Amino acid sequence: GNSVTQMEGPVTLSEEAFLTINCTYTATGYPSLFWYVQYPGEGLQLLLKATKADDKGSNKGFEATYRKETTSFHLEKGSVQVSDSAVYFCALRRGTGANNLFFGTGTRLTVIP
């Protein structure tokens, strides 16, 4: 079946630290992969995506590379800011129909000054 496994949180980092949030997936075929972010008190926003192997998605200093050989899509940022404190969700979308978006459990990131 299709599933996403995310690094357990919470993660606490100091400002300007390097961030990695691990995400691996199980899927048949070639899913599209996404990272969503949920800032405190807000809804989910699409942060970045990659639609085929070796693609790199990037936005707001965050990056993730679609690695088919390791079935991974780890989220990275070189220097986090306090404003990056949020919950991050890895997700995959498989196929062209409805009901095909599968979320990980979310990782809470707190960045302290």
Residues that bind other proteins (CB under 8 A): 31-32, 34, 36, 38, 42-46, 49, 51, 87, 89, 91, 93-101, 103, 105-106, 108
Query: Cα 58–13–56 angle (5° rounding)?
Result: 15
Sequence-distant (≥ 6) Cβ neighbours of residue 96 within 8 angstroms: none
Smallest gap from residue 83 Cβ to other proteins (A): 18
**Nearest CB to other proteins, comparing residues 49 and 74:** 49
Least Å from the CB of residue 35 to other proteins: 9
Residue 72 carries which DSSP code?
Answer: B
Least distance to other proteins, CB of residue 65, Å: 17
Burial class (CB in 10 A: 0-12, 13-18, 19+), 17: middle
Residue 94 CB, nearest approach to other proteins (Å): 6
Q: Which is nearer to other proteins, 42 or 54 (CB)?
A: 42
Query: Is the Cβ of residue 34 or residue 79 nearer to other proteins in the bound state?
Result: 34
